[in-house]
Structure 1
Amino acid sequence: MAHQRVAIFANSLRLGGAERVAVNLVAGFARFGHEVDLVLVSEHGELLRHVHENVHVIDLDSDRVLRSVLPLRRYLSRHHPDALISIGAHVNLVATWACSSVRPSPTLLLTEHSIIKRMSNNRKATVMQLLAHLCYRVSDSVVAVSEGVLDDLRSDIGYHGDARVIYNPILSEQLLSEAAEPLDHPWFSDDIPVILGAGRLAPEKDFSTLIQAFAELRERREARLVITGSGPQREHLESLISSLGLNRWVDLAGYVENVYQYMSNADVFVLSSLNEGFGMVVAEALACGTPVVSTDCPSGPAEILADGRYGSLVPVASPSAMADAVADMLNDPTDPTLIAQRAQEFSVDRVTEQYNALIAEFE
């Protein structure tokens, strides 16, 4: 693919999975020598400081995603990028509306990161599915971050145009640098193993199962559990921890700016989710060199772990199975060479090469 002007369109750069994808992807394109614009609905967020120095940040200065259609159209008419890659369901819709009235229009790639029907608001999910069905056909291709998301595109959204799976770009120099920073937490400085969970404290992450599994694990051996993240279930989880007599052994650490420090120092990372679009933290843990136990939830973790080759998979909402898997992983961790080998599949350069090849198909 010859050097081109590539635009990545995202909501903002607040901390989140899609936002990290945007930062990593623009860095990848910049390193390949393209002229790169990072077009944001609103130029806000903690990740702004991590944007590659050769990337132009374009602020559409809109207070809502849906109000960014006209500013995005003005950007496209003025700068004429060769390709526009949008990240996430809402910005995908805006990208299709803006591109449909611009000539010449860029190669439009939409990336879908979640399964729309799993939105907590059923009415919103129905509306989003309908809009996606009507609008996604404008794109040149849709990139799904997992096979499960691709299946949803086909079966529930009814999108039958060009689509393929490209995993999220995870392994980066920035991740490795942050993972190597010293961690100031007393539990990681002795020989008692530490289990780590990370994510929003919300029902779909099912940290209750992780805590119950940890209670069973504690009956067999010494261990500690740290869960990073904030969310609406904190009080519920605190009550569960107290009722199980685990206050001395479980730390709900809240929001942490650098979760990779925790991942790289943990003995086992556990994903307890009921569902995921991709399961980004699983790939991040592998990138940090940490053994993984994950629920075999739809969709993503089984793909990332290659059906158990690179980590353990357990049934959803099964504390006993999770406790057994964590105990086994502590006793016999996944080979670090295998973990490093798998992490390379999610490297920024490898993923950017796949996007480059996809854009080249439409030149």
Structure 2
Amino acid sequence: MSHTTLPKRIAIVIDSLSGGGAEKVMLTLAKGLQARGHEPHLLVLEPAVEHEVPVDIPLHFCFGANEHNLDSFWRLNGTVAKLKNFLTQLQQNIGRFDLFLSNLHQTNLLMTHTGVSPLYCVVHNSMDEELKRQRKLGPIAWLEMWRAQKALNGQHLIAVSEGVADELRQSTRIMPASVTTIYNPFALAEIRAQAELIPEDLPKGDYLIHVGRFARQKRHDVLFAALKQMQHNLPLILLCSNRKKAQKAITKFGLQQRVIVAGFQQNPFPWIKHARALVLSSDYEGFGNVLLEALALGTPAISTACPHGPTEILTGNLAQWLVPRRDPVALAKKLDQLLDSKPDVTDAEILSKVTLDTIVQQYLALIADE
């Protein structure tokens, strides 16, 4: 019998709980652990919270709102000492953690210096692609990312897709102690229930949807160029928080009549469910959560075949909806083809691999292996 039948106390450590994919994934995991009788604690470096946190999941802020640049070169030692002290105090008050799960670069850098164990760092994105992107932002940005990635050397890592795992194993920059693939968890029944809560501003007719930050990685420019090439003239809805930047790009492409920026939605699921198709035009992803959410709601999805994630989600019959990266013409053709054929996506193979139960068990197995 596995040790994991006893309730486990698990620390999920992350930069903040502002509206990002990694944050949402870890909240889902925390809810799943708690529903199965375990005791997850959210340890958040900075007190920024956009997501709804269930009141019965303990939330601890490690640093104050006025403490910034926690991982800067000149502050690192002091910050680590403070964090170590915080973790010691917390465990004296509530008991020892059976597992620490660290997420995102700043948190990984700090947690790997604290010496706590057992510690697993969750890698949510392509490290090579992120480093390339930082290089474009200048030498300091690149050096900070490089330093955060180097901190993973000798650590136990969890990759959110097989693609990310392969990249970590082949890396010349770091030598991990171990690499385990655990897909992101999805509370499928909850997603489907939330999709029934129709907001008043949901459009009445047919539309396409893109869900994700307005960031270079997501290549909205490729998506907008594809829209102009399409035969169908469906509107596109963007669920993203940076409205100003989005509007500027929409104007540049002359698509003001066709693209609607609906902003960040606490509940994106009705928007996704009622779309004719969800489209992802990214250069890279860690996994591609929104593709999975679309399939769970019966909405067809089209994605660029970026190195990690989408090729593991759109498999079998759904692989025909993958297109080459940075190719607006191919994307336009594929969107037109999908709108003509209305594919049925309800039997997507990936759905059975990412249920909350399955993923919770895989995380608990890390403790059993200790």
The alignment's TM-score, normalised by the length of structure 1, stands at 0.86
Q: Count matched residues.
A: 344
Distance 1:25 1:17, change over 3 A: same
**In structure 2, C-alpha distance between the alignment counterparts of 1:147 and 1:130, rounded to whole Å:** 24
Aligned to 1:50: 53
**In structure 1, C-alpha distance between the alignment counterparts of 2:83 and 2:120, rounded to whole Å:** 16
Counterpart of 1:109 (choices 99, 120, 128) is: 120
Instruction: Compute the displacement of 1:149 (Å).
Output: 2.1
SS at match of 1:294: strand
Distance 1:46 1:173, change over 3 A: farther
Aligned to 1:175: 191
**In structure 2, C-alpha distance between the alignment counterparts of 1:336 and 1:353, rounded to whole Å:** 26
**In structure 2, C-alpha distance between the alignment counterparts of 1:237 and 1:308, rounded to whole Å:** 34
SS at match of 1:55: coil
Instruction: Compute the displacement of 1:186 (Å).
Output: 5.9
**In structure 1, C-alpha distance between the alignment counterparts of 2:339 and 2:227, rounded to whole Å:** 13
Aligned to 1:39: 43
**In structure 1, C-alpha distance between the alignment counterparts of 2:37 and 2:202, rounded to whole Å:** 44
Contact 1:286 1:342 in 2 (8 A): no
Distance 1:132 1:23, change over 3 A: same
Distance 1:33 1:321, change over 3 A: same
Aligned to 2:250: 238
Contact 1:270 1:292 in 2 (8 A): yes
Pairs within 5 Å for 1:133-148: 133-137=150-154, 139=155, 141-148=156-163
Pairs within 5 Å for 1:146-161: 146-154=161-169, 155-161=171-177
Give the partner amino acid of 2:97: P
Q: Deviations over 1:59-88 (max 9, x none)?
A: 223434543623234334553111111122
* Identical positions, percent: 28
**In structure 1, C-alpha distance between the alignment counterparts of 2:251 and 2:39, rounded to whole Å:** 52
Contact 2:298 2:344 in 1 (8 A): no
SS at match of 1:33: coil
Structure 2: stretches of 5+ with no match in the other structure = 72-78
Instruction: Compute the displacement of 1:36 (Å).
Output: 1.9
Distance 1:293 1:350, change over 3 A: same
Q: Does 1:249 align with 2:258?
A: yes
Contact 2:304 2:324 in 1 (8 A): yes
Deviates more, 1:166-175 or 1:200-209: 166-175
SS at match of 2:262: strand
**In structure 2, C-alpha distance between the alignment counterparts of 1:113 and 1:186, rounded to whole Å:** 31
**In structure 2, C-alpha distance between the alignment counterparts of 1:210 and 1:261, rounded to whole Å:** 22
SS at match of 1:84: strand
Counterpart of 1:205 (choices 212, 215, 218) is: 218
**In structure 2, C-alpha distance between the alignment counterparts of 1:263 and 1:314, rounded to whole Å:** 20
**In structure 2, C-alpha distance between the alignment counterparts of 1:291 and 1:57, rounded to whole Å:** 36
Contact 1:10 1:88 in 2 (8 A): yes
Q: Does 1:83 align with 2:91?
A: no
**In structure 2, C-alpha distance between the alignment counterparts of 1:129 and 1:327, rounded to whole Å:** 41
Counterpart of 1:165 (choices 181, 190, 193) is: 181
Counterpart of 2:111 (choices 92, 95, 99) is: 95
Distance 1:259 1:163, change over 3 A: same
The alignment's TM-score, normalised by the length of structure 2, stands at 0.84
**In structure 1, C-alpha distance between the alignment counterparts of 2:109 and 2:279, rounded to whole Å:** 34
Q: Does 1:226 align with 2:230?
A: no
**In structure 1, C-alpha distance between the alignment counterparts of 2:159 and 2:142, rounded to whole Å:** 18
Q: Deviations over 1:294-350 (max 9, x none)?
A: 0011221111212763661001111121111112212223323313x5333222222
**In structure 2, C-alpha distance between the alignment counterparts of 1:286 and 1:158, rounded to whole Å:** 35
Instruction: Compute the displacement of 1:357 (Å).
Output: 1.6
